[in-house]
């Protein structure tokens, strides 16, 4: 399996706080990689380094390397807008724009200069199908996205991400605000998405990580403690701290 993203000795500082410490990892293409660990251990911070979302926070400093398809993400020449098109992000709480379902999905296309109605229509439908929500919304595309349920809003946000044709989809606890049925739909969707995309997900839910991830990375206090195939991490962790966390001794 080819590597899609490689980080080498990645460090991140919020002012004087050392939030990520020498994180080196190889994230495989067309797989779901789960990031687990207790709150405040650096999972979401790490996720956001992959598309430079941390750039927006004052006082952040990053050292080390993040390579996407062997290209350095943190060089000055990188167009951050293009990077975020390639590496899309789905957040913890569904955050649809206060506009129609159709316009939510078309929004990114228009920003990137795709205006032709027939092409936009086609991509909107394809993206909503890709996010497994087309059948639920196809008759009300002009209705406000805010009229959808939480689970539907989250799948709409995934469709919005798919519309600009990313290579990688980052998900920061995408089901933590959702009910069990919506959670199951998003989990099923992830196994579909990895056929065409590389998916990296932060989750607090151990069972979810075990169910949906091909690879799992365990973070603790800003360090990557252990990384490997999910079956190995959950059945035979090499590090005592991983075992303690997975078996619920702390966290």
Domain of 131: which CATH number? Answer: 3.40.50.300
Structural domain includes residue 229 = yes
Q: Are 45 and 226 in contact (CB under 8 A)?
A: no
Handedness of CA 199, 200, 203, 208 (dihedral sign): positive
Rg of the chain, C-alpha, whole Å:
18
Domain-located, residue 122 = yes
First CA to last CA distance, the chain: 32
CB 104 within 8 A of CB 97: yes
What residue has token string 């998900």? 171
**Worst-scoring range by mean pLDDT, 29-33, 60-64, 245-249?**
245-249
Could you list the residue range(s) of the whole structural domain that residue 230 is in?
Answer: 3-246
The pLDDT, as a whole number, for residue 25 is: 98
Q: What is the pLDDT of residues 96-154, one digit of tens each?
A: 999 999 999 999 999 889 999 999 999 999 999 999 999 999 999 999 999 999 999 99
**204 domain residue, yes or no:** yes
Number of domains in the chain: 1
> 237 pLDDT exceeds 80?
yes
**Distance in angstroms (rounded) separating the CA atoms of residues 40 and 38:** 6
Average pLDDT over residues 75-92: 94
pLDDT surpasses 70 at 34? yes
Q: Give the per-residue pLDDT at 220.
A: 97
Instruction: Tell me, yes or no, whether 47 lies in a domain.
Output: yes
The stretch 78-86 carries a mean pLDDT of 94
pLDDT of residue 222: 97
Residue 88 belongs to a domain? yes
Residue 251 lies in a domain: no
- Residue 42: which region, alpha, beta or left (left: phi > 0; alpha: psi -120 to 50)? left
**pLDDT at residue 251, rounded to an integer:** 60
Task: Give me the numbers of helices (H) and strands (E) for the chain, helices first please.
Answer: 10, 10
Cα distance between residue 196 and residue 199, in whole Å:
10
Question: How far is Cα 62 from Cα 6, in angstroms, rounded to an integer?
Answer: 15
**Measured CA distances, 24 to 44, 46, 86, 127, 176 (Å):** 16, 11, 21, 33, 27
Query: Is 52 part of a structural domain of the chain?
Result: yes
What pLDDT is recorded for position 65? 97
Q: In what order do the strands lie in the sheet with 3-14?
A: 17-28, 3-14, 60-68, 71-72
In a domain, 109, yes or no: yes
């Amino acid at each position: 399996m080819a590597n899609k993203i490689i980080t080498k000795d990645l460090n991140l500082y919020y002012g004087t706080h050392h939030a990520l410490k020498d994180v080196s990892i190889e994230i495989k293409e067309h797989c779901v990689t789960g990031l687990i660990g207790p709150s405040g251990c650096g999972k979401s911070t790490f996720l956001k380094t992959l598309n430079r979302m941390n750039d927006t926070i004052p006082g952040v400093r990053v050292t080390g390397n993040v390579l996407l398809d062997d290209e350095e993400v943190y060089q000055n020449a990188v167009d951050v807008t293009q990077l975020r098109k390639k590496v899309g992000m789905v957040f913890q709480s569904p955050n649809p724009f206060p506009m129609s379902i159709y316009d939510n999905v078309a929004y990114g296309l228009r920003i990137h200069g795709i205006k032709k109605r027939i092409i936009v229509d086609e991509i909107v439908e394809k993206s909503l199908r890709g996010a497994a929500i087309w059948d639920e919304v196809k008759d009300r595309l002009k209705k406000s996205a805010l009229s959808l349920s939480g689970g539907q809003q989250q799948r709409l946000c995934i469709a919005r991400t798919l519309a600009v044709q990313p290579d990688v989809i980052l998900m920061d606890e995408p089901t933590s605000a959702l009910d069990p049925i919506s959670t199951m739909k998003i989990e099923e969707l992830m196994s579909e998405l990895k056929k065409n995309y590389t998916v990296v997900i932060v989750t607090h839910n151990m069972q979810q990580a075990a169910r949906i991830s091909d690879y799992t990375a365990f973070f603790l206090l800003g360090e990557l403690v252990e990384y490997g195939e999910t079956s190995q991490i959950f059945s035979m962790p090499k590090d005592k701290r991983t075992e303690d966390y997975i078996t619920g001794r702390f966290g």
